[in-house]
Structure 1
Amino acid sequence: MTQLAPVITIDGPTASGKGTVAHRVASALGFSVLDSGALYRLTALSILNQQIDPDDANAVAGAAQVLQVEFHQNGVRLAGQEVSELIRQEQVGNLASRIAPNPALRAALLDRQRAFRRFPGLVADGRDMGTIVFPDAKLKIFLVASAEARAQRRCNQLIEKGISANLADLLRDMRERDARDTRRAVAPLVPAQGAHTVDSSNLTIDQTVQAILDLWRASF
């Protein structure tokens, strides 16, 4: 039997810190990283650019199949254009959440996500990494934080980038996206079987990373 590279999955709601934590855990272990949310955001940006109807499931899936994506150390390019900041805009994130339940889209991106699995290992963050994409992962993390804590973090991030932000609006959007993600019929946001829940509401990034590294070492 062919041995597969070990995987750590980090699933959780928007702005729970999955991306930052995943990169730091991967760096500590020498693993590669999969930001699955970026693929959905890239699809959202692509259909915005092409003026594709988000409710046209086949057209959205078709756009995903031909994405010209290039991940690099500091971000990602779409069709040769640097889009690392563009895909983090609230408009793109909200559209990504809206199209994510599309079964044809999820099928189109599944093989692309699994292709990131290679030695010495992978840290994959998203919404369904432990439930759908890598159900055999060595360690599954469900990273959570209160909606209030996550909205405040997002607000701080935007202000640091010189972007105006309204905390009340961000909190409302956060709760709406949580509802969509947890209630959708296809691959809803739920803890994977055997997942360890880590609540980062009152933890620093370093403390959250250490908690996951401790769980990883305890898994052997």
Structure 2
Amino acid sequence: MSIIHAQRAADPHGRAQRSSLVIAIDGPAGAGKSTVAKLLASRLGYLYLDTGALYRALAWKTKRASVASDDEAAVERLLATTLLEVRHQDGERMRVSVDGQDITDDLRAPDTSALASVISSLPAVREWLLPVQRKIAERGAVVAEGRDVGTRVFPAADVKFFLEATPEVRAQRRFRELAASGGPVSLEDTARDLVARDTRDRTRALAPLVPAPDALTIDTSNLDIEQVLQRMLAAVSAKL
């Protein structure tokens, strides 16, 4: 079961919502999806949807329940008793609760992210989350980021992007993010985990990580955030 609260409160900064497009951003870890997705949503006055947070939330519960992440039957039974709640207080802020507990601040832990990559390969998990994601975006005016939002979740999205960067750049970015959060990490471990995650995401049988045929691919390796954002805004403006 799931409950979705996609609250579209008035923007506190007075920014006007521009049309009601669904914008999909895919790409591997460290490519810059989350950063630019939040900024793009803010610039447009849109809702921000981090689909990866939903998988991390289920990974968090799987670990807490001591369920083996590769036991699809056990995970599926767990889903049947899971209450997933998503709240949006404004366009950029997305809070996630599982069974009444707000776990948003726990979702970026390295072990949770790694486990999320494992359970995301389970068809039962992806099928369970599909209507959850679509429900949040049913009114449009959404910037959704993840790994299959442009290919499977929102195949008819109005604008699609695929962000990528070299493995070295992505590992450095991810390492800095984890270090800033105070976690005991090393660049070597981060790079190794990134390669393992890339392999799982790109080779899974259901909804692998690939660019949508109609997606605009942007290599962010040598671009700053504003440069990436301007390219995306130009593509979005063409649809408005």
CA RMSD of the aligned region, Å? 1.8
1:67 counterpart = 2:83: yes
**Cross-structure match for 2:49:** 34
Query: In 2, distance between residues paired with 1:58 and 1:20?
Result: 35
Q: Following superposition of structure 1 onto structure 2, how do residues 129-168 of structure 1 map, counting pairs within 5 Å?
A: 129-168=149-188
Shift of 1:156: 1.1
CA contact (8 A) 2:172 2:187 kept: yes
1:77 counterpart = 2:97: yes
State the Cα deviation string for residues 115-151 of structure 1 (Å, max 9, x = none): 1114451111001101001111111100111111111
CA contact (8 A) 2:97 2:103 kept: yes
Would you say how many aligned residue pairs link Structure 1 and Structure 2? 217
Larger helix share, 1 or 2: 1
Which structure 1 segments of 5+ residues have no match?
none
Query: In 2, distance between residues paired with 1:109 and 1:76?
Result: 13
Query: In 1, distance between residues paired with 2:234 and 2:79?
Result: 36
Which structure 2 segments of 5+ residues have no match?
1-18
Identical counterparts, % of pairs: 43
CA contact (8 A) 1:70 1:78 kept: no
Runs of at least 4 residues off by over 4 Å: none
Q: Which moved more, 1:130-139 or 1:64-73?
A: 64-73
1:125 counterpart = 2:140: no
One of 173, 181, 199 as aligned partner of 2:219: 199
Shift of 1:185: 0.7
Query: In 2, distance between residues paired with 1:10 and 1:20?
Result: 11
One of 12, 17, 20 as aligned partner of 2:35: 20
**Cross-structure match for 2:118:** 98
State the Cα deviation string for residues 13-51 of structure 1 (Å, max 9, x = none): 012121121111011111111111011000000010111
State the Cα deviation string for residues 156-194 of structure 1 (Å, max 9, x = none): 112222223210111111111111111111100000121
**TM-score normalized with structure 2 length:** 0.84
CA contact (8 A) 2:152 2:207 kept: yes
